[in-house]
Chain A
Amino acid sequence: MSEVPLALQPLRSVGKSVLDMLRTAGQVTLFGVRGVGALLSPPWFFGQLGRQLMGVGYFSLPVVGLTAVFTGAALALNIYTGGGRFNAEQIMPQIVALGITRELGPVLAALMLAGRVSAAMAAEIGAMRATEQIDAMKTLSTDPFRYLVAPRLLATVIVMPLLTLAADIIGIAGGWVVATKTLDFNGAVYVKNTWDFLQGWDVVSGLIKAAVFGFIIALMGCYHGYNSSGGARGVGRATTHAVVSAAILIFAADYLLTSAFTHR
C-alpha cells in the first residue's frame, strides 16, 4: 500500500487497528456461540464437567474467601470513616452489605478467578495446542469443543455465583469482625441491621453478574489457549491476553449490568 500518502499513514494505522479489533470480536463471538452450541446437544462429557467444577470452584474457594474477608473488613473501616463525617457511622453495616453483594463480591471473585482460572485454562489448552494434543483429539473422533471448551464454560458459569455467594457471606463477616472488635458495634444489632436492610434483589443481581463474569472468564481462557501459536512463547502470550482481556471485559460488563439493574 505504498500509494497511501505519508500524511494519511496514521489514519491507516488506526483503520487497521479497528479492523483487527472487529475481526477479533467476531472470532470471539463465533467461538462463544460454538462453545454454547456444544452444550446443547450430546455427547456431553460429565467427567470433564465434574473435574472443572472441582478445579474452578472448590479449589478457588480459599483465594476468593481471603479476598472477600479483607475487602469486607477494609470496606467497613472506610465507610465508618466516611460516615463519621456526617455523623452517620451507624449505617456502616447496611452500606457494607450493599457494596459487597451488588458490586465487590461478584467483581472481586471474578477478578481472582480471571487470574487463577482464565490463566490456567489458557495455559493448559495452549500447551495442548502446542504439543498437537488438540489435533490428536480430533483424530480420535472427539470434538475438542465438546471435550475441552464446553465443560469449562458451563463449570465456570455454575461455580461463579456459588463462589460469589460465599464471598458475600465472608465479606459481610469481615465487616462484622472489624465492626464488633475494633469499632464497638453490637454484633447482634449489626446482623439485624444488615438482614433487615438487604433486599433479595441486592444478592440476586450480584449473582447474575457473577454468572456473566464466569462466562467471560472461561471464554477468554479457552479462546486464547485454543488459538495460541508459536510454542512456549505463544502459550505465555495466550495466558497474558486471557487474563487482561477477561479483566477488561469483566469491568465493562459490570458497568453495563449495573446500569441495567440500577432502576429496578
Chain B
Amino acid sequence: MSGQVPKLEWRGVDKAFDGKAVLQGLNLDVAPGRSLVIIGGSGQGKSVTIKIAAGLMQADGGQMLIDGKDITGAPEKEQRKLASGFGMLFQGGALFDSLTVWENVAFRLINADKVARKQAKVRAIEALGRVRLGPQVADLYPSELSGGMQKRVGLARAVAANPAVIFFDEPTTGLDPITSRAINALILEQVKGLGCTAVTITHDLESARTVGDEIAMLNDGVIVWRGPAADIDRSGNPYVDQFVKGLAEGPIKPAI
C-alpha cells in the first residue's frame, strides 16, 4: 500500500448468520482511485463484504475503516454521514418502482441534497446521458424498461452525485453477453471518469477482467488470492484456477 491510507479497509471482519460463519476474519483493502473486483462462488460472503463497507450491515467482529476511520459500532447517523460519499449499483437494479426514471436518478439530489426538482431533473437527464440513455426515458417508470436499461438507470443513479466510492453488486448478472459488455464498458468509463474508488463483486470473469485493476478471490470467508487483473489466468492458486476454469473438482466445494 506504499504507506497510503486505504479508502476502504476490512480488518479481521467476522460475520455469521444463524450460527453459520460467512466472513471469518476478512482482511482486505482498496487504495483511493483503484478498482477492486471480488470474485468467488455463491454463498461465500461477497455481498456481505460490500454491504458491511456500505453501512448496510453490521460486522459481528473486526473493524471496517473508511479513510482510516473505524465505522464499526459508530452511531447510525455518523455511519450514514461517512457513507454519504458512496454510490451503489444493486444486482436487481433496486429502482424505486413508484418513481419515474428521472426521479430515481435524482433521488439523492432531491431528498438528501435538497436540490430543486427542476434543477434535479436537468442533472438526472445529464446523468442518464452519461450511460447512453436519452431524455425520452426520463418520464418512464422502471417497469417499462428492459433489464439492461434498468441497470443503466441504476448506474446513472449511483454516479449522479459524483460519489467517492462506488459498489457494484453483480452488475452483469441476468444480462445477455452484448448488454453485459456494454454495461462493463459504461462502468469502466464512469469509474475512470469520476476517478473514484470502485469495489465490484461478480461471478463474471470477463466483467472482472474489464472493470478491475485488481482481483481478489473470496472463499470460506477469507481472501485466498489477490493480484492484478491481468494475472488472473496465471495465478498459480488452486482456488482461482478452479474458478477460472469452472472445474467441479478442486478445493472449492460446489454450493449445491
Contacts and interface: CB of A to CB of B under 8 A. Distances in A.
A137 to B, nearest CB: 8
A2 interface: no
Interface residues of B, number: 25
Contacts of B87: 139
A142 B107 contact: yes
A69 B55 CA distance: 51
Interface of A: 43, 45, 128, 131-133, 135-143, 147
Given A141-B84, A143-B80, A135 B56 contact: yes
A196 B173 CA distance: 71
Nearest to B79: A138
Interface of B: 51, 54-56, 80, 83-84, 86-88, 90-92, 94-97, 107-108, 111-114, 157, 167
Given A128-B96, A142-B112, 8 more contacts: A131-B97, A132-B92, A136-B96, A138-B80, A139-B86, A140-B112, A140-B157, A143-B80
22 contacts: A43-B111, A45-B111, A131-B94, A132-B90, A132-B92, A132-B94, A133-B94, A133-B97, A135-B51, A135-B56, A135-B88, A136-B88, A138-B83, A139-B54, A139-B83, A139-B86, A140-B108, A140-B111, A141-B83, A141-B108, A141-B112, A142-B108
B96 A133 contact: yes
B109 to A, nearest CB: 9
Nearest to A138: B56
Contacts of B91: 132
Contacts of B83: 138-139, 141
B155 to A, nearest CB: 13
B80 A141 contact: yes
Contact of B111 (A136, A139, A147): A147
Given A132-B94, A133-B96, A139 B107 contact: no
B90 A142 contact: no
A135 B87 CA distance: 11
Contacts of B167: 139
